[in-house]
Amino acid sequence: MRDGQPNPVTRLADYQPPAWLVPDTTLDVDLRDGHTLVTARLTLRRNPERADKPEDLVLDGEHLELRSLTLDGRELNPGDDYRLDGPRLVIPGAPDHFTLTSVVRIEPENNTALEGLYRSNGMYCTQCEAEGFRRITFFPDRPDVLSRFTTTIHADKSAYPLLLSNGNPVDAGEEQGGRHYATWEDPFPKPCYLFALVAGDLACLSDTFITASGREVALRLYAEHRDLDKLDHAMDSLKRAMAWDERVFGREYDLDIFQIVAVSHFNMGAMENKGLNIFNTSCVLAHPDTTTDAAFERVESVVAHEYFHNWSGNRVTCRDWFQLSLKEGFTVFRDQEFSSDMNSRAVVRVENVDFLVNHQFPEDQGPMAHPVRPAAYQKIDNFYTLTVYEKGAEIVRMQHELLGADDFRRATDLYFERFDGQAVTCDDFVACMEEVSGLDLAQFKRWYSQAGTPVLTVTDDYRDGEYRLTIEQHTPATPGEPDKQPLMIPVKLALLDGQGRPLPLDDQGRAETVVILRETREALSFQLPERPTPSLLRGFSAPVSLRYDFSEEQLVTLLAHDTDGFCRWDAAQRLYFAALARIIDDGESAADQLPRLTPVLERVIARADEDPAQAALLLGLPTENAVGDRHTPLRPQSVHQAVSGLRAAIGEALAEHWWRLAKDLEADAYQGDGAAMGRRRLRRLAIAYLAAAAGQGALDADQVADYVARDFDQPDCMTNALGALRDLVHNGLAQNGRLEAFAERWADEPLVMDQWFAVQASVPGPDTVARAEGLLAHPAFEWTLPNRVRAVVGTLVNGNPSAFHAPDGSGYALFARALKKLDGINPQIAARLASGGARLKRLEPALADQLGAALRDIRPGASANLAEVLDRILGA
């Protein structure tokens, strides 16, 4: 509800092809101080597909001041010839073909929503997905209207020497009064959400790429001048992504130039505008002095993701926004495969699964649950979700698994060829998979339309040489979807003997098999010489929650011997969750867990040098959110006590090992390769254990603090400097002014300052709410800078449960105030942050009441974006 008014709902079932097509769009954008004039010349043609029922021409337009409108050169009059109907322009009785020219005035300087044309640090840039183009000019703003764009930009030459848009540059020149212009032409018809424009004074890193067919493509990466030294990693990632897409998917780049621009103010990670990607600085800039290893990896994957969209999204686009996962799920799958090929496949898979299970599963099990292809939405901005992206990628991955790599490649070749230049649906994608493989995927497609995480319950029995496995599937109800159908689920499995070796599963001696489930309940049988340890859902072959009553011994076998990286990690996680449940639910102590856990951890440590990054994944405890999501009702303070207590106990019990790892893994000099990153990751984990133990008085705090501080005082890279700062600050170790020193040292580096804010907002415990209030009042805090808001409010709400859920409700009060404030500035960001309240119904009653009251309080007057999320959370 919006001031009592419900938001309008858009439904997939109501889809109609566009009544009007726009074959050509010529834009003239005149950037002036304080305002911009946009002249748009659209060629319009009735869609022959809709000839049966001639309709008025309706164009979308928001926050536009219409200055003039001409039809084939004739000035139109309001009232007689057209009308403005809320955010739409309606022209009744138009001829079948004509040219419409509009002039509108907009104010990018006052655009804090960061949709459409806006300013960021002195430059102009755009963000049009999903519905931002309507804030630039009147247009049928829907992805199935593809148009050929020609764009001319005019601006002051000294302030904005660089003028960019999509496609190829075709003209440029001087104008009176120190101004200049540039014209860009994009030969590929595209939906307006892929339009982009940039004007600014930027530094450029240039390179070239020779495509498989021998064409030379100019590569240009732009950033503020001071950031020119932070573009090498992105350039390197881009070239590797271009070569990979040719090799693995047969996709070659299609324009003569590919450009990326880094902007500070950006709602999301990055945007795949045709030939002119626009990136959040956090997803493109990287330098060892200022950027952590995790952020280096993110740059590599986001650069690849946006590049891959050139085919999966741009050449073949979405018919409507319900099909968003057609491009996003597929492109995430592609970027995950790229990262797997560039790094350790096992480590990347576990990282991706960890993210899915601990972020998308909660979404799918809470009030925001929705199908990968939703049936209805209020604001499409709210559906750029982990479900559409990450679960969508798993659905593509399952099709890859079902078809096998060769047929999958044939199917994607068919998809790209058949639908090139078109706007299509998830059904069209699956149809290509079916056509190539001969498989019937009708049941499989329920994965797109049915929300919720399926639960697989596995039971087994061994008798007289026969091992019987029974697998039941059940998808719990989600909001608005009480009854669920059984899905087609590929379950990859192996069966291990007492020594952890795979047993042959059939006459051919196969060690691994994929069972395709279709029914609610399925039984399998194997002839085996002994009762095995089942290694289930290998590689995480389907996005399901697996229930099997593993014995501790079986988990230890899997962790020690399984060849599947996911199953080893999953076994470790199950051991930790079980230990934490004994602390939280059964009143055991952290120390009680040590006799069972430490021998297991010691075995992992003994093999750590085989793959330090994987060892770090196996040795790390689950997050407090992950633990909390497995206990109902959610009691965040006891979860925090349990996790931090167990971490300190393990830190103390294995202190000798942690010290040895920390020292053995010290690097003589900084290296940026994957192996060095893996060693840094394991070393930081070891140090974090020591710091946790020291913080609880279990180890000599001075000795640990001195060692930790060395990484801060003589840092070889940001991963170590920031890791050390976090270890000191989070564990209450003597930091001796280092927080202040860090802020002073990095005051001019916004991305580093984001980290500085985040380190403080993530200090566990209720006192952090007051500290966060202080951060919001810090001179470097800016409400209009999404990265900064995420660093403080996002970190507190999503990454620090023991502070956010402070018993006195102060975390909720901060949350509600922040949402209200942000909603007036940037409704998209407000709505995204609001989903941090989605655990409301799982909270213990005293907390749920307070959070509910705080959120109900801000509902009146909320934007459509925020209202949709609040209503879902509050169950209105």
Please choose, from the candidates 277, 169, 179, the residue with its C-alpha nearest in 3D space to the C-alpha of residue 222.
277
Residue closer to Zn ion (CB basis): 325 or 533? 325
Query: Which of ligand 0A1, Zn ion, none binds 597 (CB below 5-8 Å, type-dependent)?
Result: none
Q: Are 170 and 153 in contact (CB under 8 A)?
A: no
Give the nearest distance from C-beta 305 to ligand 0A1 in angstroms: 6
How far out from the chain centre does Cα 251 lie?
24
DSSP-assigned states of every residue in 798-848: HH-HHHHT-TTSHHHHHHHHHHHHHHTT-HHHHHHHHGGGTTGGGB-HHHH
- Determine the 3-state secondary structure of 747 from DSSP: coil
Give the nearest distance from C-beta 735 to ligand 0A1 in angstroms: 37
**Residues 131, 300, 306, 363: which is the catalytic one?**
306
Directed axis angle between helix 392-403 and helix 426-437, to 10°?
Answer: 10
Q: Is 306 considered catalytic here?
A: yes
Q: Are 550 and 530 in contact (CB under 8 A)?
A: no
Query: Which of ligand 0A1, Zn ion, none binds 709 (CB below 5-8 Å, type-dependent)?
Result: none
Give the nearest distance from C-beta 113 to ligand 0A1 in angstroms: 10
Query: Which of Zn ion, ligand 0A1, none binds 647 (CB below 5-8 Å, type-dependent)?
Result: none
Applying CB under 5 A, the residues found at the interface with Zn ion are: 328, 331
Residue closer to ligand 0A1 (CB basis): 272 or 629? 272
Give the nearest distance from C-beta 328 to ligand 0A1 in angstroms: 5
Rounded Cα distance between 813 and 772, Å, is: 12
Residue closer to ligand 0A1 (CB basis): 380 or 676? 380
| Cβ atoms within 10 Å, residue 792 | 25
Contacts 24+ apart (CB under 8 A), 479-487: 479/367, 479/369, 479/872, 481/371, 481/450, 481/451, 481/452, 484/450, 484/452, 484/454, 485/446, 485/450, 486/443, 486/517, 486/518, 486/519, 486/520, 487/443, 487/444, 487/446, 487/447, 487/450, 487/454, 487/517
Residue closer to ligand 0A1 (CB basis): 129 or 652? 129
Give the nearest distance from C-beta 283 to ligand 0A1 in angstroms: 9
Rounded Cα distance between 231 and 553, Å, is: 49
Give the nearest distance from C-beta 816 to ligand 0A1 in angstroms: 24
CA distances for 21 relative to 43, 136, 187, 248, 539, angstroms: 8, 19, 17, 35, 45
Rounded Cα distance between 65 and 54, Å, is: 28
Residue closer to Zn ion (CB basis): 284 or 616? 284
Give the nearest distance from C-beta 828 to ligand 0A1 in angstroms: 6
Q: Which two tokens stand for residue 155?
A: 């601006």
Give the CA count within 13 Å in the CB-facing half-sphere of 330: 29
CB-count burial class (<10 Å; 0-12, 13-18, 19+) for 860 = exposed
Residue closer to Zn ion (CB basis): 307 or 540? 307
CA distances for 62 relative to 32, 552, 824, angstroms: 20, 60, 16
> Regarding beta strands 179-185 and 168-175, do their DSSP bridges make them parallel or antiparallel, or are they unpaired?
antiparallel
Rounded Cα distance between 650 and 614, Å, is: 19
Give the nearest distance from C-beta 76 to ligand 0A1 in angstroms: 32
Query: Which of ligand 0A1, Zn ion, none binds 129 (CB below 5-8 Å, type-dependent)?
Result: ligand 0A1
Q: How many helices (H) and strands (E) does the chain have?
A: 30, 31
CA terminus-to-terminus distance, the chain: 9
Query: Which of ligand 0A1, Zn ion, none binds 386 (CB below 5-8 Å, type-dependent)?
Result: none
Rounded Cα distance between 46 and 96, Å, is: 5
Rounded Cα distance between 592 and 763, Å, is: 26
By beta carbon distance, the residue nearest ligand 0A1 is: 268
Applying CB under 6 A, the residues found at the interface with ligand 0A1 are: 127, 129, 267-272, 305-306, 328, 381, 384, 828
List strand residue ranges (DSSP E) for 628-739, in order. Answer: none
Query: Which of ligand 0A1, Zn ion, none binds 384 (CB below 5-8 Å, type-dependent)?
Result: ligand 0A1
Q: Is 646 left (phi over 0), alpha (psi -120 to 50) or beta?
A: alpha
CA angle at 295 for the pair 291 and 298, rounded to the nearest 5°: 150
Residue closer to Zn ion (CB basis): 297 or 328? 328
Strand-pair partners of 139: 60
Query: Which of Zn ion, ligand 0A1, none binds 227 (CB below 5-8 Å, type-dependent)?
Result: none
Query: Which of ligand 0A1, Zn ion, none binds 679 (CB below 5-8 Å, type-dependent)?
Result: none
Q: Which two tokens stand for residue 179?
A: 């101004």
Rounded Cα distance between 835 and 789, Å, is: 15
Give the nearest distance from C-beta 643 to ligand 0A1 in angstroms: 33
In this structure, which amino acid lies at residue 313? Answer: G
- Determine the 3-state secondary structure of 404 from DSSP: coil
Give the nearest distance from C-beta 426 to ligand 0A1 in angstroms: 16
Give the nearest distance from C-beta 230 to Zn ion in angstroms: 23
Give the nearest distance from C-beta 340 to Zn ion in angstroms: 18
Q: Are 476 and 369 in contact (CB under 8 A)?
A: no
| Cβ atoms within 10 Å, residue 143 | 23
| Cβ atoms within 10 Å, residue 120 | 23
Residue closer to ligand 0A1 (CB basis): 277 or 731? 277
Rounded Cα distance between 609 and 614, Å, is: 10
Residue closer to Zn ion (CB basis): 18 or 392? 392
Whose structure tokens read 């049988």?
525
Residue closer to Zn ion (CB basis): 297 or 460? 297
User: So which residues are the catalytic ones?
Assistant: 306
